[in-house]
Structure 1
Amino acid sequence: MTVEFKVKLVAKETIRPSSPTPDHEKNFKLSVFDQLTPILYTSVLLFYASNASTSSRHQSSRLKSSLSKVLAHFYPLAGRIRDNLYIDCDDSGAEFVEAKANCPLSHILDRPCPALLRKLLPINTESPEASTGRLMLIQVNTFGCGGLAIGVCLSHKIADATTLRTFIKGWSAAAFLGEVSAGIEIPPLDTASAQFPPLAELAATSPVVVLPKVRCRTRRYVFDPTEITPLAASEAVPEPTRIEAVVALVWRCVARASRKNDPGRQSLLSQAVNLRGRLPEPLPETTVGNFVGGFKVEIVPWAEESEIELKKLVSHMREAKREYFASYTPRLSGGGESCLAIVEAAAKFGMLINSGAVDFYNCSSWCGLGLYDAADFGWGRPAWVSLVGVEYKNSIVLVDARDGDMVEVWLTLSQADMDALDADGELLRFASLNPSVSGSSIP
């Protein structure tokens, strides 16, 4: 008989910075990038196998004390957003939840289920609290076998995936090595707003970009890029990246599924890119905030008998990326003109995604962030770093698998499109649908 998976909350605590935020840093300005970011939490789950030498009570104590230390360095995360203009760094703190799961860790890792994984997070990823409430929430889940899952939620209004990695690396360094600075060097936190200051006209207004929420299904697929990249190579792109190859294949398959339900639909892909190193004056990767842009690739309706080749898709993607970096990023030198360019790009993105005129696929890649190496709190690397999926239609998110070579794809589509994708022979040829992440060392 199958046992229902339950997570019981046993304690809740507010963790404040280990030292008070100085008065001159109490009002932390958002950047224009932050102002335009959709309202949701950037979330991740970190799973750890049982560690006989460290009790769950000791682990929890270490996580709380080190969280207090790291919050002194990331002090805006302990505050509250005001009017979409600034963060009141009042040291209100982060929420720290302790919970117990009624099963061994293998119950989750043998067959990961997005609906069950969400129970391990302290808040709904799509919660409006991301702009009105706590900016950071942590949930530490203890399993019957002694395994651990840490759910981390940071408001996307102040943290993109790169910032999430930077925070986790600092937190784990504080836990393992005793000092945040032992793990990372953090540039001044106001770097983003100094270069791209907030716009008063964006204060307390409706978001420019509202991601569509409909009845969707999220699935996890695992790909071996080495099987796909040779098929994506061409004279134009002789050495496609593993991300280009996997994204092109997934896009072709989901667009084909959509076409079965609505023939003649136009398909458009937006691929998110980290702008830190692409700005006219490049910024360190540890710069906190949102520095995400996105190049768009458009494909006209495909004829049933002449589907576009994988290598052609990759060529389109590479050219769109090249043109984006050549025409858009040079405008981001800082100041008012740059902010207007950012608002203009966001407005166009919002119009496209909400128009309903095209199938708009929003894709981002977390591959290469090094989350497995960043998250050692003193009891080893994670057994698995997991997303949970989102409720936004046509979302494609890539993340490194635990072996570092394979790529996990978290795909969210409408129910009808997901049903059509189930019969896609090409996807089934190259992808494993939700395989186990358990190893012999996972109880």
Structure 2
Amino acid sequence: MTKELKVEVVAKETIRLSSPTPDHLKNFKLSVFDQLAPILYTSVLFFYTSSTNASSHHRSSCLKSSLSDVLTRFYPLAGRIRDNLSVDCEDGGAEFVDAKVNCPLSHILDRPCPVSLRKLLPIDTESPEASTGRLLLVQANAFGCGGLAVGVCVSHKIADASTLSTFIKAWSAAALLSDVIVGIEIPPLDTASARFPPLVELAAILPTVVLPKARCVTRRYVLDPAKITPLAASEAVPDPTQVEAVVALVWRCVARASRKNDPGRRSLLSQAVNLRGRLPEPLPETTIGNFVGGFTVEMPPQAEEREMELKKLVSDMREAKREYFDNYTPRLSGGVVGCMAVVEAAAKFGALINSGDVDFYNCSSWCGFGLYEAADFGWGRPAWISFAGVEYKNSIVLVDARDGGTIEAWLTLSQEDMHVLDADEELLRFASVNPSVSGS
């Protein structure tokens, strides 16, 4: 992009529920998982080209009316959090922002810029409002060419990536006047808190986790798992998943970059996992709330090249995942015992981050949620779905690319580490650095 992206807010509107929340649902309890979630917004951007006869005004109106309808099913999203324990569901509403952009959509798709993409969101991803203000905000960005970018921000205190995916599927179904959401019914919204009730004394027993911030740079890479996965296969793991292979390659490269700047650093990877189907009593994937855990894998401080081979890293990741599911998830039976197991895991996680003596890479995968198929509000599949990036150091996020075969990796590293990574020949053999969306 040669022209600075400017976004002008045209109007702001509070979207109310089409039907008021019944009195017996006015107080919605958070689960202990929600209590432990970081204070930030889970955010996503959907880009639509002008290949439709609908005007930007018509599409905005469609989004607003269907949002009002779907909020009746997801009523906590229109409420406000109280004391990190519950949501006051007095139907305060969601915020909807109409904005216009000073360039054609092609300027963004030709060379996506993470800093510019954040301007298309209705609020900063790291805003403290995620725990004190609106829980759902939407921004419809109209381009002069007829293109549209819809930015959605949901408080992480009430929604993980899986919940956001379920909500988007329900919202698009409402826009299409359909009662079917990928053929799966959504369980009662209080399922999470009924199984894992909030802990009033949580603040007293758990230290505050401060996610590391620094002068960071975010880069988007597009990788072809078909070229990486065969290199990650071994006798121990003959069938690595595409995500495992891509994560291993990325971790290997970023760890190598860090050690060039600071030799001898411990490197620790934390891979987020969706716990819904892994609980002793599994929950449907459409269960609302936060059900995220994570297993950790360490790379020795003085790791030799053979210890950083893809096969070895994938094997270590698979073993760490097995141990995590064998030893930790069986304790998540619910109730006080299950809640304390969640708190203990969070305390260990926080201690590692707060220690400062390791390179702690936090990795999550949005692959497999089917958002390209789901986010059709009546004008076709998105031309692109984007993660806008975060400011937290050593963040790795994987997102499906539109072609269904490649994976986008969004990396946020210190400026020093990113400078070294830019010249990593191995990564550049398998990854394209921020290619145009049409060419990715």
Q: TM-score range by the shorter chain?
A: over 0.9
Structure 2 distance, partners of 1:394, 1:182, is 34
Q: CA deviation at 1:5?
A: 1.4
What pairs up with 1:383-422 in 2 under 5 angstroms?
A: 383-422=383-422
1:289 aligns with 2:284: no
Q: CA deviation at 1:4?
A: 2.1
1:42 aligns with 2:36: no
Are residues 46 and 5 of structure 1, via their aligned partners in 2, closer, same or farther at CA, if it must alter by over 3 Å? same
SS in 2 for 1:228: helix
> AA paired with 2:314?
V
Structure 1 distance, partners of 2:200, 2:298, is 33
Q: CA deviation at 1:112?
A: 0.3
Q: CA deviation at 1:311?
A: 0.2
Q: State the partner residue of 2:331.
A: 331
> AA paired with 2:137?
L
Q: State the partner residue of 1:5.
A: 5
Are residues 80 and 305 of structure 1, via their aligned partners in 2, closer, same or farther at CA, if it must alter by over 3 Å? closer
Whether the 8 Å CA contact 2:274–2:293 is kept in 1: the answer is yes
SS in 1 for 2:64: helix
> AA paired with 2:118?
R
Are residues 336 and 204 of structure 1, via their aligned partners in 2, closer, same or farther at CA, if it must alter by over 3 Å? closer
Q: CA deviation at 1:208?
A: 3.7
1:224 aligns with 2:257: no
Structure 2 distance, partners of 1:231, 1:435, is 24
Q: State the partner residue of 2:256.
A: 256
> AA paired with 1:87?
V
Are residues 182 and 359 of structure 1, via their aligned partners in 2, closer, same or farther at CA, if it must alter by over 3 Å? closer
What pairs up with 1:14-163 in 2 under 5 angstroms?
A: 14-163=14-163
Q: State the partner residue of 1:164.
A: 164
Are residues 205 and 170 of structure 1, via their aligned partners in 2, closer, same or farther at CA, if it must alter by over 3 Å? farther
Q: CA deviation at 1:186?
A: 1.2
Are residues 184 and 16 of structure 1, via their aligned partners in 2, closer, same or farther at CA, if it must alter by over 3 Å? farther
Whether the 8 Å CA contact 1:85–1:198 is kept in 2: the answer is yes
> AA paired with 2:30?
L
> AA paired with 1:221?
Y
Are residues 77 and 179 of structure 1, via their aligned partners in 2, closer, same or farther at CA, if it must alter by over 3 Å? same
> AA paired with 1:14?
T
Q: CA deviation at 1:179?
A: 4.0
> AA paired with 2:65?
S
Whether the 8 Å CA contact 2:169–2:182 is kept in 1: the answer is no
Whether the 8 Å CA contact 2:363–2:395 is kept in 1: the answer is yes
Structure 1 distance, partners of 2:343, 2:328, is 12
Structure 2 distance, partners of 1:412, 1:363, is 11
Are residues 43 and 147 of structure 1, via their aligned partners in 2, closer, same or farther at CA, if it must alter by over 3 Å? same
Are residues 335 and 434 of structure 1, via their aligned partners in 2, closer, same or farther at CA, if it must alter by over 3 Å? same
| Larger mean Cα displacement after TM superposition, 414-423 or 161-170 | 414-423
Q: CA deviation at 1:210?
A: 2.5
Structure 1 distance, partners of 2:187, 2:16, is 22
Stretches of structure 2 that go unaligned for 5 or more consecutive residues are none
Structure 1 distance, partners of 2:207, 2:372, is 33
SS in 2 for 1:72: coil
TM-score (normalizing by structure 1): 0.97
Whether the 8 Å CA contact 1:104–1:144 is kept in 2: the answer is yes
What pairs up with 1:164-313 in 2 under 5 angstroms?
A: 164-179=164-179, 184-202=184-202, 208-303=208-303, 308-313=308-313
Q: CA deviation at 1:302?
A: 3.1
Structure 2 distance, partners of 1:237, 1:2, is 46
Whether the 8 Å CA contact 1:393–1:414 is kept in 2: the answer is yes
SS in 1 for 2:308: coil
Spell out, residue by residue over 1:42-91, the C-alpha distance to the aligned partner (whole angstroms, 9 max, x if none).
00000011133211111111110000000000000000000000000010
Q: State the partner residue of 1:367.
A: 367
Q: CA deviation at 1:2?
A: 3.7
Structure 2 distance, partners of 1:305, 1:379, is 50
| Larger mean Cα displacement after TM superposition, 296-305 or 101-110 | 296-305
Q: CA deviation at 1:3?
A: 2.7
Structure 2 distance, partners of 1:6, 1:251, is 35
Percent identity for Structure 1 against Structure 2:
80
Spell out, residue by residue over 1:98-119, the C-alpha distance to the aligned partner (whole angstroms, 9 max, x if none).
0001111100000000001001
Spell out, residue by residue over 1:222-254, the C-alpha distance to the aligned partner (whole angstroms, 9 max, x if none).
000011111100000001000000000000000
Whether the 8 Å CA contact 2:270–2:362 is kept in 1: the answer is yes
SS in 1 for 2:222: strand
Whether the 8 Å CA contact 2:373–2:381 is kept in 1: the answer is yes
Are residues 184 and 63 of structure 1, via their aligned partners in 2, closer, same or farther at CA, if it must alter by over 3 Å? farther
Whether the 8 Å CA contact 1:11–1:97 is kept in 2: the answer is yes
Stretches of structure 1 that go unaligned for 5 or more consecutive residues are none
Are residues 16 and 421 of structure 1, via their aligned partners in 2, closer, same or farther at CA, if it must alter by over 3 Å? same
Structure 1 distance, partners of 2:164, 2:337, is 28
Structure 2 distance, partners of 1:181, 1:43, is 21
Whether the 8 Å CA contact 2:196–2:339 is kept in 1: the answer is yes
How many residues of Structure 1 are paired with residues of Structure 2 in the alignment?
A: 440
Are residues 314 and 384 of structure 1, via their aligned partners in 2, closer, same or farther at CA, if it must alter by over 3 Å? same
Q: State the partner residue of 1:428.
A: 428
Structure 1 distance, partners of 2:67, 2:204, is 30
Structure 1 distance, partners of 2:250, 2:219, is 12
| Larger mean Cα displacement after TM superposition, 46-55 or 400-409 | 46-55
Are residues 211 and 197 of structure 1, via their aligned partners in 2, closer, same or farther at CA, if it must alter by over 3 Å? same
Are residues 55 and 184 of structure 1, via their aligned partners in 2, closer, same or farther at CA, if it must alter by over 3 Å? farther
> AA paired with 2:403?
D
Q: State the partner residue of 2:343.
A: 343
| Larger mean Cα displacement after TM superposition, 293-302 or 359-368 | 293-302
Structure 2 distance, partners of 1:112, 1:339, is 41
Structure 2 distance, partners of 1:425, 1:356, is 29
Are residues 138 and 362 of structure 1, via their aligned partners in 2, closer, same or farther at CA, if it must alter by over 3 Å? same
SS in 1 for 2:438: coil
